[in-house]
Amino acid sequence: MPNSPLVVFDLDGTLADTAEDLIAILNQLLEEERMETMPTSEAGALIGAGARALISRGFARAGAELAPEKLEALFEVFLERYAANICTETRLYPGALEAMDRLSAEGYGLAVCTNKPERHSLLLLEALGVLGRFRAIAGRDTFPFFKPDPRHLTLTIDRAGGDAARSVMIGDSLTDITTAKAAGVPVIAVPFGYTDRPVAELGPDLLIEHFDELADAVARVMAGR
């Protein structure tokens, strides 16, 4: 229902472990350019700022700086290949489904705010069987702004019929934490996602170790508001 409290999730590295599928497409591009491929363990330093950044970072770590026109060409190839292989190895993190069930039962609305393109976000959430759970799904290209611009989050909240004063962000990275803080929205971090620094060092309002803890953590944050 409108005006209920809202929980806004990041997608990659927060709700879903997408690293293997993303790195697989990146490695296809690297192999075709005769560059060294990346292990999935590098995901923390590569994923989180969108596909262009993933490609640019991946090629930079392999020793190549991409010209803008080359990056755009590889970006278009990446988008189509990833759309065709959106959920080969990707899975929801343990406990995520149960946490969403509990939050919904307790009266929270759910939304997604991600730097993944909207098309891929919708395809992935549908493939994972959870698309219909969210009141709004905002990707990198949904609005003129994307994380860490706080308007990405506040516009997602608006689209979901929520209120920033009664919302909380769930994320795994500095991008999520920076976005939420700039928007005046408390942020709960998960440590199992994609970050090149321990997320506990990045200043979230709360840190949970497993989605089993999420509903209680959200209640604590909301009570503090």
* Residue among 150, 103, 106 nearest 7 (CA): 103
Instruction: Name the fold adopted by 6-17+90-224.
Output: Rossmann fold (3.40.50)
Cβ distance 194 to 47 under 8 Å? yes
Catalytic residue among 10, 17, 21, 176: 10
Q: What is the 3-state secondary structure (H, E, C) of the chain?
A: CCCCCEEEECCECCCEECHHHHHHHHHHHHHHCCCCCCCHHHHHHHCCCCHHHHHHHHHHHCCCCCCHHHHHHHHHHHHHHHHHCCCCCCEECCCHHHHHHHHHHCCCEEEEECCCCHHHHHHHHHHCCCHHHCCEEECCCCCCCCCCCHHHHHHHHHHCCCCHHHEEEEECCHHHHHHHHHHCCCEEECCCCCCCCCHHHHCCCEECCCHHHHHHHHHHHHHHC
The structural domains of the chain, with segments of one domain joined by +, span 6-17+90-224, 19-84
* Residue among 176, 198, 196, 195 nearest 187 (CA): 176
CA–CA dist 47, 11 (Å, integer)? 11
Q: Per residue in 18-42, pLDDT tens?
A: 999 999 999 999 999 999 998 988 8
CA–CA dist 92, 13 (Å, integer)? 9
Cβ distance 187 to 168 under 8 Å? yes
pLDDT at residue 1 tops 60: no
Q: Per residue in 55-91, pLDDT tens?
A: 999 999 999 989 999 999 999 999 999 999 999 999 9
Cβ-based burial of 59 (10 A; exposed 0-12, middle 13-18, buried ≥19): buried
CATH of domain 19-84: 1.10.150
Which amino acid, 214? L
User: Band of the pLDDT at 2, cuts 50, 70, 90?
Assistant: low
- Give one word for 95, left, alpha or beta, with left for phi > 0 and alpha for psi -120 to 50: left
pTM for this entry: 0.93
pLDDT at residue 49 tops 80: no
First CA to last CA distance, the chain: 20
Q: Per residue in 161-218, pLDDT tens?
A: 999 999 999 999 999 999 999 999 999 999 999 888 899 999 999 999 999 999 999 9
Q: Is 149 a catalytic residue?
A: no
